[in-house]
Amino acid sequence: MTGSALVSVDDLSRTFDVSRPWLNRLIEGGQKEFLKAVRNVSFSIEKGETFALVGESGSGKSTVAKMVVGLLPTSGGNIVIDGVNMADAAQKSQVRALRRRIQMIFQDPYASLNPRWRVDRIIAEPIRAFEPLVPQRDVDSRVGELLKLVGLDPRDGRKFPHEFSGGQRQRICIARALASKPEFIVCDEPTSALDVSVQAQILNLMRDLQDEFSLTYLFISHDLAVVRHMATRIGVMYLGSLVEVAKPDDLFNTPQHPYTRMLLDAIPDLDMTGRERDAVKGEIPNPIHPPTGCAFHPRCPFAYDRCRSEKPELKTGGNARVACHAVEDGRL
Q: Which CATH superfamily is domain 5-101+182-328 in?
A: P-loop containing nucleotide triphosphate hydrolases (3.40.50.300)
Q: Which amino acid is at 304?
A: Y
Question: What pTM, to 2 d.p., does this model score?
Answer: 0.90
Res 57: pLDDT: 87
Q: What tens digit of pLDDT does each residue of 14-52 get?
A: 999 999 999 898 898 888 999 999 999 999 999 999 999
Q: How far apart are alpha carbons 260 and 54 in whole angstroms?
A: 10
Q: Is the pLDDT of residue 184 over 90?
A: yes
Res 318: pLDDT: 75
Q: Are the beta carbons of 291 and 274 closer than 8 angstroms?
A: no
Q: Are the beta carbons of 184 and 7 closer than 8 angstroms?
A: yes
pLDDT band at 2 (very low <50, low <70, confident <90, very high): very low
Least confidently predicted of 52-61, 88-97, 235-244, 319-328: 88-97
Which of 87-91, 171-175, 274-278, 281-285 is most confident?
171-175
pLDDT band at 319 (very low <50, low <70, confident <90, very high): confident
Q: Are the beta carbons of 127 and 139 closer than 8 angstroms?
A: yes
What is the average pLDDT score of the chain?
Answer: 90
Domain ranges within the chain, ordered by starting residue: 5-101+182-328
Q: How far apart are alpha carbons 12 and 75 in whole angstroms?
A: 8
Q: Is the pLDDT of residue 1 over 60?
A: no
